[in-house]
Amino acid sequence: MSFSIKQVKAILSSHELPIEKLDACAEEICSRHAADLDSIKEERDNYKKDAETLAAVQKELNDLKDKEAAKEADPFEAKYNQAVKDFEDYKANIEKEKLMSAKKEALREIAKDAGLSDAGVEKALKYHNFDELELDENGAVKDKANVLKAVKEEWSGYVQTTQANGANVATPPASSGGGSYKSKDEIMAIKDDAARQKAIAENHELFGF
C-alpha cells in the first residue's frame, strides 16, 4: 500500500521530530518505499512473462485429461486446477494494472489543472495514495474538486505562476530582421500562449515561412 509524504510527516510529527527535518525524512522514507514497490513490480513483470504460457499449458492439460480420464485422471487434476488458478490470477493482475494506469492518467490531468510544474506532476504521481483515488464508470475522478484542492495544497511548492510583461517602449528589444529571438527553441520555450504566438509571427523566418 502506498502512502503520501503528507501522511508520513504526520506520523513523524507525532514522534516529536524537529519540524526542519520533517520534509527530508518524509521524502527519504517515501523514496525507499517507492524503491521497494519498484522491486515488487519487477517481480510482477517476470511473473507476467511466465503467465503468457499458461494458455498453452492449459490446452496441453486439457488434452492429457481427455486421453487419460479413465485411468490417470487424478494426477493431472491438480495440475489442471493450478493452471486455471494461475491463469485467473494473471487476468486479475492485468485488470489491476489497467485500473492503476487509468488512475495515474486521471491524476496527471488534475495535477496539471492545479498548475503544477512538470516536476510537481511527477512528484504527485510518485507519492499519491492511489488506493484512496476512486474513478467513476467513465474513468473520471470522483470528488474531483476536493482531490484537486488536496493536490494543490500538498504540492504548493510546485505550483507555477505566470506573469505577462509588456514590451518596454522606451528601450525596445534589439531586432535583427523583424524579431528579437535567436532560435525556434527560445520562442517555443515561452510559456504564455499569446506571447509565444506573437513571437512566432514576428520571427516567422526562423520557422521557414
For residue 172, what pLDDT band results from cuts at 50, 70 and 90? very low
| Low-confidence winner among 92-101, 145-154, 155-164, 172-181 (lowest mean pLDDT) | 172-181
Q: Per this entry, what is the length of the chain?
A: 209
Domain match, 184 and 91 both: no
Domain shared by 16 and 95, yes or no? yes
- Same domain (yes/no): 136, 173: no
Regarding whether 129 and 40 lie in a shared domain, the answer is: yes
| 118 and 183 in a common domain | no
The neighbouring-strand residues paired with 116 are: 159
For residues 25 and 8, give the distance between their C-alpha atoms in angstroms, rounded to a whole number: 9
The rounded distance, in Å, linking the Cα atoms of 207 and 185 is 10
Q: Are residues 109 and 154 in the same domain?
A: yes
CA 119, 29, 115 angle in degrees (round to 5)?
25
Residues 109 and 201 in one domain: no
- Evaluate whether 62 touches 77 at the Cβ level (below 8 Å): no
* Domains in the chain, number: 2
Banded model confidence at residue 176, pLDDT cuts 50, 70, 90: very low
139 lies in the same domain as 193: no
pTM of the model: 0.39
120, 138, 158 - which closes a domain: 158
If DSSP states are collapsed to H, E and C, what string results for 118-143?
HHHHHHHHHHCCHHHCCECCCCCECC
Helix axes 144-154, 73-113, angle to 10 degrees: 70
**For position 25, what pLDDT does the model report?**
73
| Position 87 confidence tier, pLDDT thresholds 50, 70, 90 | confident
Q: Are residues 42 and 114 in the same domain?
A: yes
Closest CA to 4 of 134, 132, 158: 132
Same domain, 35 and 115: yes
- The cell for 3 is 502512502
Q: 185 with 134, same domain? A: no
Q: Residues 23, 115: one domain?
A: yes
Predicted confidence at residue 164, as pLDDT, reads: 46
Domain that holds residue 190: 164-209
